[in-house]
């Protein structure tokens, strides 16, 4: 509201900013503008804080009202956001400073009601200051807001402001949460094609967490923003000083000391698992010489199914064959070549048997070079069942 000029104070020889407003309009409008202008002067003039603009003087010259303020050498936060989202440390520092300035104003009964990037000035070293208390509500205000009248910028208004309900300091906390979200994510949380669409989203829409748009945002800062943007004022921060403390704490928790390595999480055993298995080395079972076992069993005339071998592993509940017994003998024997390269003639025979087995004779004949007796051939066709005895097809 009004026009701002840069000037120089002749008495103190310092640069100042002079905000003026022309009162040459309608009589009713002049009265309202003058009352609001003087309210802004009293609101900002009664605050002396590093994060609130300082007012030097206020007066009237004919039809022009003026207010002399400190000249800020910086740029608006709106211009910074126009170039993209801010670094995490910069956004957190600006938000914390604005929260501290609002806390100082709230303690003196002043509610800004129009916190937005264009009303925040950022100087060198990321020093931030709140400006433009034009629609601020003062405890002893002569300007009464009409019931149901909406004052503020729709994109940064709280739900109670949109609905025309009474507001308090928690409306500024909501607006600061919107500004913080925009600094972190690069986009405002509530958008729309027109004012009605924006107001509808302010009252009903839950924006996504800033970390979904900016992975550098820590989870704790997501929680801070979510609490500041709560639709219900009772669920927000009760004061701006708590918001400033949580914002700074979230940045401290996210920044790790230089050279510090992240601790490796210890493995967590599942339920019912022995915890000693995570610290002890479990020995593996020895490999079974499969080829030797198969060859030894074939030389004895047996099948290559390893479960029938004398030294093969048994199923659970059954022990292995003892070394002193042959797999096919009914009586004890004295053969120790179960795992050897072969058997001597008659080594696996029982003591009560004096003649070698037919298999042993055939092996002896093969070793001597004698012709081997042909085996009886079996016609595969003879093994097939007649057609009338086949089971029915399913």
Residues with catalytic roles: 114
Closest CA relative to residue 1, chosen from 75, 65, 76: 65
Return the exposure string of 45-76: e unless at least 16 CB atoms fall within 10 Å of the residue's CB, then b.
Answer: bebebebbbbbeebeeeeeebbbbbebbebeb
As given in the structure block, the two tokens for residue 330 are 């009914």
The answer to whether the CB of 304 falls within 8 A of the CB of 298 is yes
Q: Write down the residue that tokens 């390893």 correspond to.
A: 306
Both tokens of 337, joined, read: 């070549």
In 10 A of CB 176, how many CB atoms?
28
For Cα atoms 280, 284, 285, give the angle at the middle one, nearest 5 degrees.
140
Single out the residue of 75, 83, 179 nearest to residue 121, CA to CA.
Answer: 75
CA dihedral 50, 109, 92, 90 (to 10 degrees): -40
């Amino acid at each position: 509201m009004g026009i701002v000029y840069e000037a120089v104070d002749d008495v103190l020889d310092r640069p100042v900013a002079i905000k003026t407003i022309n009162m040459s309009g309608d009589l009713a409008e002049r009265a309202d503008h003058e009352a609001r202008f003087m309210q802004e002067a009293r609101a900002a003039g009664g605050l002396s804080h590093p994060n609130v603009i300082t007012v030097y003087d206020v007066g009237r010259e004919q039809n022009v009202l003026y207010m002399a303020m400190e000249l800020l050498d910086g740029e608006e936060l709106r211009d910074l956001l126009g170039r993209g989202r801010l670094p995490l440390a910069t956004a957190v520092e600006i938000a914390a400073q604005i929260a501290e300035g609002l806390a100082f104003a709230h303690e003196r009964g002043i509610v800004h009601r129009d916190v937005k990037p264009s009303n925040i000035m950022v100087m060198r070293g990321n020093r931030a200051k709140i400006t433009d208390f034009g629609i601020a509500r003062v405890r002893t205000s002569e300007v009464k807001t009409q019931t149901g009248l909406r004052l503020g910028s729709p994109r940064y208004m709280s739900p109670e402001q949109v609905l025309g309900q009474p507001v308090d300091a928690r409306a500024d906390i909501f607006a600061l949460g919107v500004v913080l979200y925009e600094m972190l994510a690069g986009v405002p949380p509530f958008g729309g094609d027109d004012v009605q669409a924006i107001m509808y989203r302010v009252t009903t829409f839950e924006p996504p967490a800033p970390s979904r748009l900016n992975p550098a945002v820590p989870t704790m800062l997501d929680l801070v923003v979510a609490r500041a943007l709560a639709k219900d004022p009772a669920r927000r921060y009760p004061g701006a000083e708590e918001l400033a403390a949580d914002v700074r704490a979230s940045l401290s928790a996210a920044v790790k000391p230089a050279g510090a390595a992240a601790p490796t999480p210890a493995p967590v055993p599942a339920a019912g698992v022995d915890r000693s298995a995570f610290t002890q080395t479990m020995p593996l079972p020895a490999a079974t010489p499969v080829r030797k076992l198969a060859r030894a069993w074939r030389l004895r005339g047996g099948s290559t199914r390893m479960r029938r071998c004398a030294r093969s592993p048994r199923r659970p509940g059954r022990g292995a064959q003892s070394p002193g017994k042959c797999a096919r003998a009914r009586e004890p024997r004295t053969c120790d070549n179960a795992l050897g390269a072969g058997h001597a003639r008659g080594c696996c025979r029982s003591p009560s048997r004096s003649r070698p087995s037919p298999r042993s004779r055939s092996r002896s004949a093969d070793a001597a070079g004698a012709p081997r007796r042909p085996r009886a051939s079996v016609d595969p066709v003879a093994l097939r069942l007649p057609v009338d005895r086949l089971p029915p097809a399913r």
